[in-house]
Structure 1
Amino acid sequence: MYSRQKTELDRLQAKVANGNMSRREFLSRVSAMGLGAMAPGLYMQSAAASPKKGGTLRLGMQGAASSDSLDPATFMAEYMINVGMGQLRNCLTEIDENNQLAPELAESWESSDAKTWIFNLRPGVEFHNGRSLKASDVVASLQHHMGEDTSSAAKGIVAQIETIQAQNDSQVMFMLTGPNADFAYLMSDYHLGICPANADGSIDTASGIGTGGYKLESWEPGVRTLTVRNPNYWKSGRAHFDAIESLFIADAGARENGLISGELDVITGPVAATAARLGQKPGIEVFYTYGNQHCTLPMMNNVSPFDNNDVVMALKHAIDRQEWLEKIWFGSASLGNDTPIGPANIYRATDDEIPQRDYDLDKSKYFMKKAGLSSLDLKISVADSAFQNSDDACVLFSETARPAGINIEVVRKPDDGYWSNVWLKDPWCASYWGGRPTEDWMFSQVYSANAIDTGWSETFFNNARFEELLPQARAELDNNKRREMYVEMQKIVHDNCSSIIPMFLPYAAASSDKVKRPENVASNWELDGNKCAERWWFA
Structure 2
Amino acid sequence: MKNIDKLTRSPGRSELSRREFISRALAMGLTLPAAISLADSPAMAAPPKTGGRMRIGLGLGSTTNTLDPATFEDTYMQIVGFGLRNCLTEINNEDQLVSELAESWEGSADATEWTFELKKGIEFHSGKTMDAEDVIASLQHHLGENSTSLVYSILAPIEEIRADGKSTIAIKLSNGNADFPYLLSDYHIAILPARDGVVDWRSGDGTGAYKLKNFEPGISTSMVRNPNYWKEGHGHFDEAEILSIIDTNARTSALVSGEIDAMDRVDLKTAHLLGKRPGINLKETQGTLHYVYSMFCDTPPFDNPDVRLALKYGIDRQDLLDKLLFGHGYVGNDHPIGRSNKYFATELPQRPYDPDKAKYHLKKAGLTELTVPLSAADAAFSGAVDGALLYKEHASKAGINIDVIREPNDGYWENVWDKKPFVASYWSGRVTEDWVFSSIYAEGVSLNETHWANPRFNDLLKQARSEQDTGKRGEMYFEMQKLCSDDGGVIAPVFSNYVFATNDKVAHNRMSAAWDMDGIKCLERWWFA
Corresponding residue number in structure 2 for 1:500: 491
- For residue 341 of structure 1, report the CA deviation from its aligned partner: 0.7
Alignment counterpart, residue 463 of structure 2, candidates 456, 464, 472 = 472
- For residue 98 of structure 1, report the CA deviation from its aligned partner: 0.3
Corresponding residue number in structure 2 for 1:461: 452
Corresponding residue number in structure 1 for 2:75: 78
Corresponding residue number in structure 2 for 1:425: 419
Deviations along 1:383-430, one digit per CA (max 9) or x if unpaired, are 112111010011010011112111111111122221111111010100
1:393 correspondence with 2:394: no
Alignment counterpart, residue 55 of structure 1, candidates 41, 52, 60 = 52
Corresponding residue number in structure 1 for 2:377: 383
Q: How far apart, in 2, do the equivalents of 1:361 and 1:409 lie?
A: 18
- For residue 159 of structure 1, report the CA deviation from its aligned partner: 1.0
1:403 correspondence with 2:397: yes
Contact 1:161 1:176 survives alignment (8 Å): yes
Alignment counterpart, residue 215 of structure 2, candidates 206, 215, 219 = 219
Alignment counterpart, residue 101 of structure 2, candidates 105, 109, 122 = 105
Amino acid at match of 2:439: Q
- For residue 223 of structure 1, report the CA deviation from its aligned partner: 0.5
Q: How far apart, in 2, do the equivalents of 1:48 and 1:516 lie?
A: 6
- For residue 183 of structure 1, report the CA deviation from its aligned partner: 0.6
Alignment counterpart, residue 297 of structure 2, candidates 298, 301, 311 = 301
Q: How far apart, in 1, do the equivalents of 2:135 and 2:439 lie?
A: 21
Deviations along 1:227-284, one digit per CA (max 9) or x if unpaired, are 1101111001110000110000001111110011011100001110110111101000
Q: Tell me, what secondary structure is at the counterpart of 1:366? A: helix
Contact 1:292 1:504 survives alignment (8 Å): yes
Within-5 A mapping of 1:226-305: 226-305=222-301
Deviations along 1:319-356, one digit per CA (max 9) or x if unpaired, are 00000011111111100000101111100101xx3111
1:359 correspondence with 2:353: yes
Contact 1:444 1:450 survives alignment (8 Å): no
Q: How far apart, in 2, do the equivalents of 1:46 and 1:151 lie?
A: 45
1:121 correspondence with 2:115: no
Q: How far apart, in 2, do the equivalents of 1:266 and 1:106 lie?
A: 31
Q: Tell me, what secondary structure is at the counterpart of 1:190? A: coil
- For residue 376 of structure 1, report the CA deviation from its aligned partner: 1.4
Percent of counterpart pairs with the same letter?
A: 51
Amino acid at match of 1:467: N
Corresponding residue number in structure 2 for 1:340: 336
The 1:115/1:48 distance shift into structure 2, 3 A limit, reads closer
Amino acid at match of 1:298: S
Q: Which runs of 5+ in 1 are unaligned?
A: 1-16, 18-44
Amino acid at match of 1:93: T
Q: Tell me, what secondary structure is at the counterpart of 2:153? A: helix
Corresponding residue number in structure 1 for 2:513: 523
Corresponding residue number in structure 2 for 1:29: none
Contact 1:145 1:155 survives alignment (8 Å): yes
TM-score, L = length of structure 1: 0.89
Amino acid at match of 1:524: A
Within-5 A mapping of 1:305-344: 305-344=301-340
Q: Tell me, what secondary structure is at the counterpart of 2:517? A: helix
Contact 2:59 2:251 survives alignment (8 Å): no
Corresponding residue number in structure 2 for 1:535: 525
Q: Tell me, what secondary structure is at the counterpart of 1:311? A: helix
1:66 correspondence with 2:63: yes
Q: How far apart, in 1, do the equivalents of 2:427 and 2:43 lie?
A: 38
Q: How far apart, in 1, do the equivalents of 2:268 and 2:455 lie?
A: 40
Contact 2:444 2:451 survives alignment (8 Å): no
Q: How far apart, in 1, do the equivalents of 2:377 and 2:198 lie?
A: 36
Amino acid at match of 1:243: E
Q: How far apart, in 2, do the equivalents of 1:403 and 1:289 lie?
A: 35
**Corresponding residue pairs, total:** 488
Contact 2:45 2:507 survives alignment (8 Å): no
Contact 2:287 2:340 survives alignment (8 Å): yes
Alignment counterpart, residue 147 of structure 2, candidates 144, 150, 169 = 150
Amino acid at match of 1:448: A
Corresponding residue number in structure 2 for 1:436: 430
- For residue 46 of structure 1, report the CA deviation from its aligned partner: 8.7
Q: How far apart, in 2, do the equivalents of 1:474 and 1:381 lie?
A: 35
Q: How far apart, in 2, do the equivalents of 1:417 and 1:236 lie?
A: 39
Contact 1:364 1:404 survives alignment (8 Å): yes
Q: How far apart, in 2, do the equivalents of 1:465 and 1:395 lie?
A: 35
Corresponding residue number in structure 1 for 2:174: 177
Alignment counterpart, residue 163 of structure 2, candidates 161, 166, 171 = 166
Deviations along 1:68-100, one digit per CA (max 9) or x if unpaired, are 01000100000000001x201100000000000
- For residue 456 of structure 1, report the CA deviation from its aligned partner: 1.1
The 1:385/1:233 distance shift into structure 2, 3 A limit, reads same
Corresponding residue number in structure 1 for 2:477: 486
Contact 2:84 2:211 survives alignment (8 Å): yes
Q: How far apart, in 1, do the equivalents of 2:294 and 2:394 lie?
A: 18
Amino acid at match of 1:392: D
- For residue 450 of structure 1, report the CA deviation from its aligned partner: 3.7
Q: How far apart, in 1, do the equivalents of 2:269 and 2:203 lie?
A: 41
Deviations along 1:173-208, one digit per CA (max 9) or x if unpaired, are 110011111110000011000111122x12111111
